[in-house]
Structure 1
Amino acid sequence: MSSLDEIIYRKAPSTWELFKSNPSLYLASKLYSRLSRQPSPPCSFSSVRTICISDTHNTDISSLIPPGDILIHAGDLTHSGTPRELQVTFDWLVSLPHEHKIVIAGNHDTFLQTEEGRSWAQSWRERGIIYLEDEAHTIQVRSRIFKIFGSPFTPKHGNGAFQYPRTGTTDSPSRWSVIPDDTDILVTHGPPHGHLDLNGLGCRALLARMWELCRRQPPALHVFGHIHGGRGIENMHWNPAQSIWEDVVRKTGGWLYTMRLLWAMLWGGQNSRVRTVAVNASVIGGPRDRDVRPPVVVDI
C-alpha cells in the first residue's frame, strides 16, 4: 500500500492512542468539550432556524436538508472548481426553498477566484443566492435583522484558491480586520485556531479577531468547514476557561495548562452569557471522504 493510501485509509485513532500520544492535551480536550456543550441561555427573541452546510464537493444532499429560515454554505461547493461543477451546484442551491441563502467559496472553488467567476457569482443574487467574498450583507427574518459577513480565505496549504500566507505563528493578523465589529453571523471557510479544527489546524489570526469582536459583542453564530474531521458544534464562551484551552492547543499541551483549565471551570470559568455558537458544517468526511453527513441545524 502506498503512503498516500495509508493516509486515505487510515483508521481513526483509539481513545488509548489519543491519550498515549499527548495525555495532557487529551484530558484538556475532554474538559473543554464538556464546557463547550453547555446549552446557550434562552433567547429572548423568536428563534431563527439556520441550516449550516460546508464542503459538499459536488454532493447533492437535497434529501437531507430540512426547512429553515437561513441556509448557509461555507465553501468548497465543488471538488475541482470548474465552471461546469459550479453550474451544477448553483442549480441545486437555486432549487432549495429557503428564503435566505448565503454562500461563500472555498479553496477548491478556483473558478470563483477569477474575475469572470466573481462576476458570475455576483449575478446569483438575481436567483436568490447571496455570494459573499470579504463582504457583509444584511437580511431580515421576521422582526429580526442580521448582519452576515462572509469570507472564503484560509491560511495557505497546497495550491488552492483564496489562500493567504502563513507568517510565523500569526497567520497574517491584518487579514481579518475586514470583519465588521457589528457582525451577527460570521461565515468563513476555515475555522479559528483550537475550535473544531482537530486541535490546532485553524487560523490563529481569525481567533484573535474574534476575541477583539468579543469586547463589543461577538457574533451569535460562526459557520465554517474546511477541516472535515473537525465537524461538530461548540459554544465559545469567551471566558478564562476558553482562553486557557486555546493556550493548551497553542503550546501543544502541558499539565500546568490542563490543571489551570480545570480550575477555571470550577471557579467561574463557565459563568458567561456572552457566547458564539461555532459550527463546523463539513458534509463529507471520513476515509477518502466517503461519508456524507447531514446539515447542522442551529436556532439563534
Structure 2
Amino acid sequence: MASSPARRRRVVTLLALAASLAVAAPAVDARPGGGGGMGWRGSKTFSAPPSTPTSPGATGPIQRSQTSPSPGFNNPGMAAPSQGRRFGGGFLGGMLGAGLLGALLGAGFAGGLGGIGSFIGLIFQIGLIALLVMLAVRFFRRRQEGAQPAMASHASYARSGPPPQGGPQGGGLQGGMNPVGGGYSGGARPQPIQIQPDDFQAFERSLTEIQGAYGREDVASLRRLATPEMVGYFEEELRANAARGVVNRISDVKLLQGDLSEAWREGPVEFATVAMRFSLRDEVFERASNRHVENGPQEAKEFWTFVREPGGPWLLSAIQQGR
C-alpha cells in the first residue's frame, strides 16, 4: 500500500530535523600535524604550555607521543583525538537514527508517530537528549581543565622589546625570560633559559621550511628540521595521503603573530615552546589528475616546541593546537 502524502511529509520533516540537530564531525586539517597534538616536550609532554597573547585560550593536548606519562599521572588529554566527537556525535546520532527508524516502521521513541502528540513528543525527547549531551560535554571539559590547574596563570610572560626584523616572513616572534617550574626529566629539574632574537628567527624559518617541505613531500628536509619522532608522524600522514591518491600542497606561509610560551633546560637539552598564528595556502589535489579536491584552513594557531642539544640547531619536537 502506498504511503499517504501526510506520512511522506512527516518522514521528510523528521529527516530535515535530524539533519539540523546532528553533530557534525570537526574538519581535519591537512597541514603537518593534521590538526592534532603530537610529539615530545621533555618532562612537560603532558602539561599544557602557558597561554600567551597570541593564543590566550586552552591548548590542545598531546595525543600522540612515544613518551609515556609517569605512574599516577592524571592526563585527560591522553584520550583518542576523536573521543569527544564520538560521545556527542555517536550517542546523539544513534538516538536520532533510532527515532527515524521507528518513524519509518510506524513507531517512534515512545511508541508511534501516528498523531501530532507523538510528533511533539519526539521533538521534546530529541531536545532533551541534546541538552543532556551538552551538559555532559561541559562537565568533562571542566574536569579536564581542572586537572591542569591554571598553567597559564603563572606563565609570567614578558616582552624583550620590538620583534626581530629580517625573518623570512616578517611577522616576528617576541619573548623574554619566562620562569617555569615543576617536573623532572632524567633527574634534572627544568631550569628557565633566555631565548634570544636569533632563536626567534630560527623558529620562524622552521615554520616556513617545515610547511614547505611537507607540501613537497620532501622527507629529507623534514629530517633536517624535526626530531625523528616528528618525522615519523609526518611520514605516516604522507603515506596516508598517497593511499588516498591525493597530495597536500602548502604555500604562502606567513607568520602573523608569535610569542614565547615557555623556555627551559633539562640537563644539557634546551626546550622552547612558542605560540604562532600564521596564514597559509593549504590545498589538496588528486595525485594522478592534479584535480583540485579541497581547501584546508587558511589560518592556523598552534604551539610549536623546539629542542636542541649543546651546539646543535633547534629541531621541531611537538605541535599542539592553540585557541
TM range (shorter): under 0.3
In the superposition, the TM-score normalised over structure 1's length comes to 0.25
Bigger Cα Rg: 2
In the superposition, the TM-score normalised over structure 2's length comes to 0.24
